[in-house]
Structure 1
Amino acid sequence: MPDFSKDVLTVNGSKLIWQLIKVSIGFCAAVLTAGLFLAWGYFRAGDPTMDPVGFAAMIGSGFVTASIVGGFAGALVFCAIAAAELLSVRSVIYHVGGAGLIAFGLWSLGAPMDHGMRPGTGVVLAAGFVAGFVYWLVAGRSSGCWRQTSAA
């Protein structure tokens, strides 16, 4: 049986700072993606040359939606990110599924429906999944890279 009592956890400071920068950028990119995805689903704007006003409204409301989504989901998302960083979870399933679960949970906080789920649940789940995937691409693939275990 291996003796783990001599293993020491050390932190690589430069990798930690770089990972914190990637986490911040990844969170912003994920929230912007979710906001634009939800706005695109609402406006269904097509080619910008066909309807430039509709396209501009979609982009503008996407930015506003992103700030609202970031405000509502921020605390839960950062708890999930902290868990992934501390446990070095790099799985795309964790990040995509966690973001979808957070999106579904926040969407379900509204008024209950008499029959099944609220309208738009599928779109909200898809926005969460897409946001989780974008976060994984930016920062989730290297979760916990700043942790190093060395023998004492």
Structure 2
Amino acid sequence: MGLIARIFVVILALLVACLAAATVVMVAFLTLDQTDFTRLATDPAAILVVIGLSSVTLSGYALLPSALIVALAEGFQLRSAVFYAPAGGALALVLTFGSDFGINISPIFARDRGIMVGAGILAGFIYWAIAGRNAGAWRKAYPPLIRA
């Protein structure tokens, strides 16, 4: 029963973390003067719709890699925010730009990388705050099979 409840907590935490990351990304892009998103700033309902849709998109991209990181953390009982925040940032960087870590990048793309890494770090921290602090706690300590 504990494992089933833990799976639901992990799924909820992943969804909330993706919502937070989408909010950071959309706020960051709305504050840039060079984007077409600045027209959305006058309509709060449009901002909420865009944040919701980008949250669904981020959830779709990050579902499988995040599940692998969560399975690793649950298996090894990693409960530190020092693991989850950098893992979220690295995952966001890799999912956004793939293996294209070229040195010759324009300042616009460097800003985008910073935004995505910041959103990933925040998502990792929020996941840790909701579910990561208790990683592996669903396991019970079993008594030894042979008693001496």
Q: Same fold by TM (over 0.5)? A: yes
Name the counterpart of 1:85. Answer: 74
Q: Which amino acid aligns with 1:25?
A: L
Amino acid at match of 2:47: M
Instruction: Tell me, yes or no, if structure 1 residue 16 matches structure 2 residue 8.
Output: no
Q: Distance in 1 between matches of 2:31 and 2:45?
A: 12
Higher strand share: 1
Shift of 1:20: 1.2
Query: Unaligned regions of 5+ residues in structure 2, if any?
Result: 33-40
Q: Between the two proteins, what is the percent identity of the paired residues?
A: 24
Per the TM alignment, residue 89 of structure 1 is displaced from its structure 2 partner at its CA by 0.7
The answer to whether structure 1 residue 59 and structure 2 residue 51 are counterparts is no
Contact 1:26 1:138 in 2 (8 A): yes
Q: Decide which moves more: 122-131 or 107-116.
A: 107-116
Which structure carries more relative contact order (alpha carbon 8 Å, separation 6+)?
Answer: 1
- Where structure 1 has 5 or more consecutive residues not aligned to the other structure, the ranges are 1-13, 46-50
Superposed displacement of residue 150, structure 1 = 2.6
In the TM superposition, residue 111 of structure 1 has moved relative to its aligned partner by: 6.6
Q: 2:119 aligns with which of 127, 133, 137?
A: 127
The alignment's TM-score, normalised by the length of structure 2, stands at 0.81
Aligned equivalents of 1:103, 1:43: Cα separation in 2: 19
TM-score normalised by length of structure 1: 0.79
Counterpart in 1 of 2:18?
Answer: 31
